[in-house]
Structure 1
Amino acid sequence: MAPDDIDATLGAAWHDDSPWDLLTRLCAFDDRLGGGPGERHAADLVADELDSLSLDPRIEPFGMQRWTRGHTAFSVHPSDERSREFEAVALPYSPAADLRAPLVDVGHGTPAEVEAAAVEGAIAVASTDSPAGERHTHRMEKLGHAVAAGARGFVFHNHVRGQLPPTGALQFGHEAPIPGVGVSHETGAWLREYAAEDEEASLRVDATTDDGESRNVVAKLGPESDAEVLVLAHYDSHDVGEGALDNGCGVAVALAATRLLTEFDLDSQVQVAAVGCEELGLLGSAALADSLDLDRVKAVVNVDGAGRFRNLRALTHTSEAMTAVAERVAEESGQPIATAEGPHPYSDHWPFLRRGIPALQLHSRTPGGGGEWDRGFTHTRADTRDKVDPRNLRTHAMLTALLVRDLSTTDPDRVDTDALRETLREAGAEPGMRAAEVWPPDWD
């Protein structure tokens, strides 16, 4: 396709309401937690969208452990007054539990802070935040450190004000060894004070984990070729909100980009996949990676976080070639695309990156700072459609399509997995990844 034709296609995208319409329909489901009916309906919706583009989508089921939420109760028992009950949200893969134990504040939940606290037999209270200037400590890592120290329960308190208990899976794909709940920033302030006074708390979680099924939706476009670009976005979300930002926006951007790509002349084949169960442990992308001939996949574009806020951000996960692609498209389009090279294992690029496939994760950052891992409203009940600007969906869809088009003409070098492993080690990620059970066993 000539550049003038590309400009005409992109120009028409400014008037395209399909990303907003798709987001609206996704957010209308009761919830899209992995393995549930809402997630299945979302998969059917995405398949219909791909079918409308004449892409002949296929649905690929995979088995998983389905977690179902019941009632959660959390209260503190001050020694000199009546018990106080606080709002708490059970974290996916929390086991059912009914326990009473002392509260212990473990700060940010880093290994050093957990080791310094008397956690054995207690309920560990950890912030969602990480120490300033240090590597981000993921929720599953904090849990793993607490479990190793003998904690009986885990409380994850939001570092952002606003009475919003956070959620997020405790383990990748299976039930955790101890119960865990999320509470608000304001509740966390009380709990730290009660912990300093050696007070006890009661924690009850009603939940079940059983065998279930999720599915990936996959389609191909472009010419037959020896190598292909994989574009993926997860369509599942947590059940406490609408999942608009995480990752309804990403699905809407990926599908709108696919619509544009059907109008472009591509130099190699593109495979588009909407995957399930990212929030429960990258289960859909792992199943997809196991099903593909990875020797044919020359690059992965993971649309997780795009469409939320104004400026697109490309996480390039140590690949200089992917950084060059992002910088080239930013210059040619006249649109800002910030880049960051540091790798992490907590999104759907990981099952591919750990096998050496170069990856772009398309993201966007909360306005006004807050850092790479500032979730804003995501993983809370405030993750709703009203937070989304349709202009961001359109702009990021166009940039995503241009990035994929560029990748279709290039052959980026594979990621050296030995070097990737050492980069993560040098960043101090290994202990936390081991605690979270995501350090690849073949790296030992």
Structure 2
Amino acid sequence: MTTLPSETVGDAYTESTAWELLGDLADLGDRMPGHEGEAAGASLVADAFEDAGLDEVSTTPFPIPGWWRGEASLTVDRGGRSATFGGSHELVELPGTPSGTVTGSVVDMGHGLPEDFEGVDLSGCIAMASSLTPDDYDRWVHRSEKYDYAAESGAEGFLFYNHIEGALPPTGDVGHTNGPGPIPAVGLSKELGDRLVRHCDDAEADRGVEATLSVEARNEPATSANVEAVVGPDTDEEVLYTAHVDAHDVGVGANDNGFGSALVVGVGRALASIEDELETRVRLLVFGAEETGLYGSYYWSHTHDLDRVKCVVNMDGAGYSRDLEIYPHGAPEIGEAFAEVSDEFGVPIAVEDGLRPHSDHWPFAQRGVAAAQGRSTAEDSGRGWGHTHGDTLDKLDVRDLRDLTVLSAAGVAKLAEADREVAGRDPESVKEETIAEGHDVGMKATDSWPWGDDRPWPWADELQ
């Protein structure tokens, strides 16, 4: 049973390389996929891998559909008065939106659940939906799903408002695999969303609310990159520990996912200190272009032999606290390894059931590779400051990074034990579980259903 020596644990609690990298990534500002900041972030990670003493450091570029924001505004006409909202604290464009100016009645679709759109004709209207999925709903409904339901119902535009007060307008991709989405779309702050909800309620009393949504954006080809390195012996199998370096351009992406990238570097450094004890090679891998369609992980998983991947632990959403959660996605051996770490260090690590098909572990999991997501607990429902201007370094804690580095390194070292088998899954069983949990509804609505498609992977036409 592999345990981390006290020297490695102590170094993780006193060494500052990973935290300094996180600060450098945050200082880049815009790390949108395909933008200069993302490339600069990938270079910083590669340098950090070199400084950590890892082997075979490499950067692999790949093409993506790029997106750049322009100006956006929403003008609301009500009772003979008009008000225009265009401040960054009020609204932001959603990546993948096309340009356009549309005018119509604002219709509040509530939570934007599939049933909310059933039989609803939104022709000539601007649909609005909350970022919240009710806790008692059987699955999380993704932003892009709500957007596509609105478009399919005939809406001319889409407003996506935050459900967390003071957390600013949320961003997030709504683009399609072959280019931008069909209708202009923006994210709104909770405060502006609540104001429009009130106006919509008043409209039911014939007071009326009309609005004009104006969006300027640029959609054209771009390039992202994956960065990787290895530590340990040259074995037939590899354990992958991953995150993504890109972030949305409205903020600095400190938590999502600069924190994850820093974790990968910190774990790589810890494992390098016990390299002679590792029994299986560990690959430290930071993907590009996660935020706009998991392009980096799809590209890597379809350009490498997955038979060599023993398992994947992907870190995304880990900066909320030091309380680690692991979602093994039907690979109990991953959960067991982290349960042992929990016992050894005397700290809680939650091992959770269910699928989370919206991060870089998913291209592996859907093809039967044992793949887990690691994250940390958050007090509130949703992303909090994530995907907003407020995702900044000051909200993170170096002590959380240190704790999670130690726990992650200990778990990965256990997964690298030669006699610890980690079984993959039949992709058909993953498909059945995806359907059983209701995720197929949203995936089919957003053209991201990975089964029964002649393409070797989603977005293949654009990546070749």
TM-score by length of 1: 0.95
Q: Map of 1:264-343 to 2, 5 A cutoff?
A: 264=274, 265-343=277-355
1:195-238 residue CA offsets vs partner (Å, 9 max, x unmatched): 33142111111101101101111111110111111111101101
* SS of structure 1 residue aligned to 2:74: strand
| Cα distance, 1:417–1:179 mapped onto 2, change above 3 Å | same
Which of 91, 95, 108 matches 1:92? 95
Counterpart of 2:28 in structure 1: which amino acid?
F
Deviation for aligned residue 1:258? 0.5
Residues 1:28 and 2:40 are matched in the alignment: no
What is the CA–CA distance in structure 2 between the aligned matches of 1:270 and 1:130, rounded to whole Å?
A: 37
Aligned to 1:378: 386
Counterpart of 2:188 in structure 1: which amino acid?
V
Aligned to 1:194: 199
What is the CA–CA distance in structure 2 between the aligned matches of 1:307 and 1:266, rounded to whole Å?
A: 27
1:272-303 residue CA offsets vs partner (Å, 9 max, x unmatched): 11111111111111111112110100100101
Say whether the 8 Å CA contact 2:117–2:153 is kept in structure 1. Answer: yes
What is the CA–CA distance in structure 2 between the aligned matches of 1:186 and 1:261, rounded to whole Å?
A: 46
What is the CA–CA distance in structure 2 between the aligned matches of 1:243 and 1:29, rounded to whole Å?
A: 9
Deviation for aligned residue 1:268? 0.7
* SS of structure 2 residue aligned to 1:57: strand
| Cα distance, 1:71–1:138 mapped onto 2, change above 3 Å | same
Say whether the 8 Å CA contact 1:229–1:404 is kept in structure 2. Answer: yes
Aligned to 1:354: 366
| Cα distance, 1:193–1:296 mapped onto 2, change above 3 Å | same
Aligned to 2:424: 414
What is the CA–CA distance in structure 1 between the aligned matches of 2:29 and 2:85, rounded to whole Å?
A: 27
Aligned to 2:457: none
Say whether the 8 Å CA contact 1:308–1:393 is kept in structure 2. Answer: no
Say whether the 8 Å CA contact 1:421–1:443 is kept in structure 2. Answer: no
What is the CA–CA distance in structure 2 between the aligned matches of 1:263 and 1:229, rounded to whole Å?
A: 17
Aligned to 2:39: 40
Deviation for aligned residue 1:163? 5.7
Counterpart of 2:56 in structure 1: which amino acid?
D
Residues 1:252 and 2:271 are matched in the alignment: no
* SS of structure 2 residue aligned to 1:295: helix
Residues 1:153 and 2:154 are matched in the alignment: no
Say whether the 8 Å CA contact 2:431–2:451 is kept in structure 1. Answer: no
* SS of structure 1 residue aligned to 2:255: helix
Deviation for aligned residue 1:143? 1.1
What is the CA–CA distance in structure 2 between the aligned matches of 1:296 and 1:112, rounded to whole Å?
A: 42
What is the CA–CA distance in structure 2 between the aligned matches of 1:147 and 1:258, rounded to whole Å?
A: 44
* SS of structure 1 residue aligned to 2:350: strand
Say whether the 8 Å CA contact 2:167–2:390 is kept in structure 1. Answer: no
Deviation for aligned residue 1:84? 4.2
Return 267-276 or 168-177, whichever deviates more: 168-177
Say whether the 8 Å CA contact 1:68–1:207 is kept in structure 2. Answer: yes
What is the CA–CA distance in structure 2 between the aligned matches of 1:236 and 1:25, rounded to whole Å?
A: 13
Aligned to 1:127: 130
Q: Map of 1:166-205 to 2, 5 A cutoff?
A: 166-171=170-175, 173=177, 174-196=179-201, 197=203, 198-205=208-215
* SS of structure 2 residue aligned to 1:226: coil
Percent of residue pairs identical: 39
Residues 1:426 and 2:436 are matched in the alignment: yes
Say whether the 8 Å CA contact 2:245–2:286 is kept in structure 1. Answer: yes
Deviation for aligned residue 1:12? 1.9
Say whether the 8 Å CA contact 2:322–2:401 is kept in structure 1. Answer: no
What is the CA–CA distance in structure 1 between the aligned matches of 2:254 and 2:82, rounded to whole Å?
A: 40
What is the CA–CA distance in structure 1 between the aligned matches of 2:394 and 2:432, rounded to whole Å?
A: 42
What is the CA–CA distance in structure 2 between the aligned matches of 1:395 and 1:217, rounded to whole Å?
A: 24
1:80-139 residue CA offsets vs partner (Å, 9 max, x unmatched): 323443532000010001111111111111111122544222111000001231111010
Counterpart of 1:187 in structure 2: which amino acid?
L
What is the CA–CA distance in structure 2 between the aligned matches of 1:90 and 1:282, rounded to whole Å?
A: 20
Measured on the aligned residues, the alpha-carbon RMSD in Å equals: 1.7
What is the CA–CA distance in structure 1 between the aligned matches of 2:37 and 2:84, rounded to whole Å?
A: 35
What is the CA–CA distance in structure 2 between the aligned matches of 1:41 and 1:255, rounded to whole Å?
A: 16
| Cα distance, 1:443–1:99 mapped onto 2, change above 3 Å | closer
1:63-95 residue CA offsets vs partner (Å, 9 max, x unmatched): 001100111111111143234435320000100
What is the CA–CA distance in structure 2 between the aligned matches of 1:310 and 1:230, rounded to whole Å?
A: 21
What is the CA–CA distance in structure 1 between the aligned matches of 2:230 and 2:2, rounded to whole Å?
A: 22
Which of 437, 447, 453 matches 1:437? 447
**Where do 5+ consecutive residues of structure 2 fail to align?**
455-464
Counterpart of 2:92 in structure 1: which amino acid?
V
Counterpart of 2:6 in structure 1: which amino acid?
D
Aligned to 1:49: 48
1:231-289 residue CA offsets vs partner (Å, 9 max, x unmatched): 11101101111110101111111110000011121111111111111111111111111
* SS of structure 2 residue aligned to 1:201: strand
Say whether the 8 Å CA contact 1:319–1:341 is kept in structure 2. Answer: no
Say whether the 8 Å CA contact 1:345–1:438 is kept in structure 2. Answer: no
Deviation for aligned residue 1:412? 0.8
What is the CA–CA distance in structure 2 between the aligned matches of 1:247 and 1:37, rounded to whole Å?
A: 17
TM-score by length of 2: 0.91
* SS of structure 1 residue aligned to 2:56: coil
Say whether the 8 Å CA contact 2:102–2:214 is kept in structure 1. Answer: yes
Aligned to 1:212: 222
Deviation for aligned residue 1:172? 5.4
Deviation for aligned residue 1:397? 0.7
What is the CA–CA distance in structure 2 between the aligned matches of 1:114 and 1:186, rounded to whole Å?
A: 24
* SS of structure 2 residue aligned to 1:236: coil
What is the CA–CA distance in structure 2 between the aligned matches of 1:115 and 1:139, rounded to whole Å?
A: 17
Deviation for aligned residue 1:333? 2.1
